[in-house]
Amino acid sequence: AQSVTQLDSHVSVSEGTPVLLRCNYSSSYSPSLFWYVQHPNKGLQLLLKYTSAATLVKGINGFEAEFKKSETSFHLTKPSAHMSDAAEYFCVVNAGNNRKLIWGLGTSLAVNP
């Protein structure tokens, strides 16, 4: 069975400081992993994806994530937070022979001035 756990439901950082949003997954197969972002009252936008190529994946808006198979983790990071990064972030896994996605419950990121 596949599952995704986002370890923090809320993260608060100051503008200009690093961001770390943690995600662990469980999968019997080699997974594809994604991070999506949702700004308030908006739709969902793909930040980045891992599909068995380079383990360090770079996405939009300066975000990146590292796939660590030994730790079954796919944490999202950004060196310096911006006010516009305040949003809900979802870690997602797709494993197996279908195109269904398994969603984490989300991490709400607040960025303080």
Q: Which residues bind another protein (CB under 8 A)?
A: 29, 32, 34, 42-46, 49, 51-52, 90, 94-101, 103-106
**Smallest distance from another protein to CB 80, Å:** 26
In the complex, least distance from residue 61 CB atom to another protein, rounded to whole angstroms: 16
- Name which of 70 and 100 has its Cβ closer to another protein: 100
Name the 3-class secondary structure at 97: coil
Smaller CB separation from another protein, 59 or 62: 59
Pairing of strands 23-26, 56-58: unpaired
For another protein, give the closer residue by CB, 15 or 101. 101
For the bound state, the minimum distance from the C-beta of residue 35 to another protein, rounded and expressed in Å, comes to 10
Cβ distance to another protein smaller for residue 19 or 106 = 106
Burial 39-62 (b: 16+ CB within 10 A, else e): eeeeeeeebbbbeeeeeebebeee
Contacts of 53 (CB under 8 A, 6+ apart): none
